[in-house]
Amino acid sequence: MDQTTTRRKFLQAGTTLVAAAAAGAQPLSALASAPVDELGFLAAVDLAAMLRNKEIGSEELARYFIARIEQYDKKLNAIVVRDFDRALEAARRADSLMAKGQIAGPLHGLPMTIKESYDIAGLPTTWGIPEAAQNIASADSAVVERFKSAGALFLGKTNVPLNLGDFQSFNDIYGTTNNPWDLTRTPGGSSGGSAAALAAGLTGLESGSDIGGSIRNPAHFCGVYGHKPTLGIVSSRGHQPPGVPANPQHPDLAVVGPMARSADDLSMALDVVAGAHRLMSPGWRLELPEPRMQSLKGLRVALWPDDTMAPVSQEIVERIDLIGTQLSSLGAKVSDSARPGFAAKAAHETYLGILDGMTTGAASKLSFFDYQRLDGHRGGLRLAWQNFFKQWDVLICPTAATPAFKQDQGTLGTRTIPVNGEQRPYFEQVFWAGLATLSYLPSTVFPSGLSKAGLPIGLQAIGAEFSDRTTIEFARLMAQEFGGYQPPPGYR
């Protein structure tokens, strides 16, 4: 499906099923068979174009999304902080400016939501921590500022797990968020509310954060797109735990980045939010390289479908193999054995060491000397990845070990998930997030179709540092060739 069609063309065209790519499974390009007749499933670029072309007003669109939230979010519990009155005021201002021929930016009048962990002045920022339930932000985060400067308005904020530390999204303040594809399953974490709201058509655009797959994992579980940027290209000011002073630069490992229903949306959103941090802006400029490819033909693609460090369900392994076959038939150079020049176990241990220091706070046993040692090892890994990406354009690998699993709110340290009939440690699958996170690499998660059980399978496209436009463009080309986002049943 062409992700840039207007609503009118979208409604006229509808969508069709493509022949099955693998026996017994949903086809790689499986899309809904009936025409989609609701605005909630359009890409943000299409909604923004409709607003600019005056096919719809901002207030009209905001009221449309509010009605959908009120209709569908009772069972999802995705948008847990609602700011409808201020959103409608902003929408009316946007319509007034549009009537005068004044456009604030590429997102003029677009209603969106954002992860609860971002500061929006006047709204709570709790990170799901009960003791922070009354923590009200006094200023907007840098990302919110940039979205507003581009013309977007905020309907509210979406749910997270306690302290953003889970592959599920529940906490004692806001309760549990469910997956729109199956309400008994997790939407992922920690940007689970973001992904669920997008998938169900309750918002125009979203933004999450990621240190251990928190953008990528929910995008995979809910069948939407997510982009973990190269570290440092998007300011995380105003995205910090309650009580922690806003950092004008960026912490190690952790990034903030867009989530959406199309790769075009990711590209547009990244253009809006990427740029210098406040302290660096006097002398720092960002110039991301253009995509390495214009088509899938001639693309150099490495596949990493499975690893003993974190076994993956056979169905996901087969999906990656299938994509490799499809790409090869289109003229891409594909390898399932090419790897960067380092031991995966050593790299993962380095990631876990730094991650522990980042996430356990005062309880961490990581000394500054230990951090310096791990950071030195990471420097060698970054060089190895740099050499690897001289030979390959993208690396495709799993996002998590399985499709969305059943909700499990048992003791965190004792949880397991079933992988190929075997119970595996719950956090073992963070290995797949760490491949990109440790070495600052960009990673774009794209939908690849449904599992045999009818659940989304999203895969990572990882690229070289600062090749964010390449991984996003790859995701766009994949959607163009094989299909991308599809709405879950029951939301139209």
Q: Which residues 6+ apart lie within 8 Å of 372 measured at CB?
A: none
* Burial class (CB within 10 angstroms; exposed 0-12, middle 13-18, buried 19+) of 489: exposed
Helical (H) or strand (E) element with 265: helix 263-273
Which entry of 191, 194, 207, 214 is annotated as an active-site residue?
214
Which entry of 29, 141, 190, 194 is annotated as an active-site residue?
190
Q: Of 176, 172, 158, whose CA–CA distance to 215 is shortest?
A: 158
Beta partners for 275?
Answer: none
190 annotated active-site? yes
Q: Pull the structure tokens for residue 303.
A: 């596949």
Region of 449 (left: φ > 0; alpha: ψ -120 to 50; beta: rest) is left
List Cα–Cα distances, 286 to 190, 236, 440, in angstroms.
28, 16, 16
Which entry of 115, 148, 157, 228 is annotated as an active-site residue?
115
191 annotated active-site? no
Q: 85-99: string of b/e by CB count within 10 Å (b at 16+)?
A: ebbbebbbebbebbe
Cα separation, 115 vs 153, in Å, equals 14
Question: For residue 190, is the peptide bond before it cis, meaning its omega torsion is within 30 degrees of 0?
Answer: yes
Residue 429 backbone dihedrals phi, psi, to 5 degrees:
-70, -5
207 annotated active-site? no
In the 8-state DSSP scheme, what is residue 443?
Answer: E
Contact predicate 187/179, CB 8 Å: yes
Contact predicate 176/169, CB 8 Å: yes
Q: How does DSSP assign 95-108, residue by residue? A: HHHHHTT---STTT
Residues with a known catalytic role: 115, 190, 214
